[in-house]
Amino acid sequence: GENVEQHPSTLSVQEGDSAVIKCTYSDSASNYFPWYKQELGKRPQLIIDIRSNVGEKKDQRIAVTLNKTAKHFSLHITETQPEDSAVYFCAASPNAGGTSYGKLTFGQGTILTVHP
């Protein structure tokens, strides 16, 4: 099955700095890669996602890059703010459009702390 590794486990930055979180995956059949932000006791919130037919996607201060050959993808947050502090999870899902789509394998999570 799929295995997703996420690094770092904790990340501390100063407000205004950039934050980068990296993930690798093992299953070449995975072709959908979402990133979630989760606050304590709450549901994961989708912040950005990317499909394997593109290499980069950006939404304001958040961007995701995908290297399908190397099987890794990264989350980039620029101009970080204290309210960005949360746990971030990457995930991978196989076969968008297929019956297995939606079965997410999550990374271990990154605790991001943005200091004012």
Partner 1 sequence: GAVVSQHPSRVICKSGTSVKIECRSLDFQATTMFWYRQFPKQSLMLMATSNEGSKATYEQGVEKDKFLINHASLTLSTLTVTSAHPEDSSFYICSVKTAINEKLFFGSGTQLSVL
Which member of 23, 44, 47, 94 binds partner 1 (CB under 8 A)?
44
Nearer to partner 1, 74 or 105 (CB): 105
Nearer to partner 1, 51 or 115 (CB): 51
Which member of 19, 24, 34, 48 binds partner 1 (CB under 8 A)?
34
Per CB under 8 A, 95 contacts partner 1: no
Per CB under 8 A, 94 contacts partner 1: no
- Cα–chain-centroid distance for residue 9? 13
DSSP 26-66: --TTEEEEEEEEE-TTS--EEEEEEETT-SEEEETTEEEEE
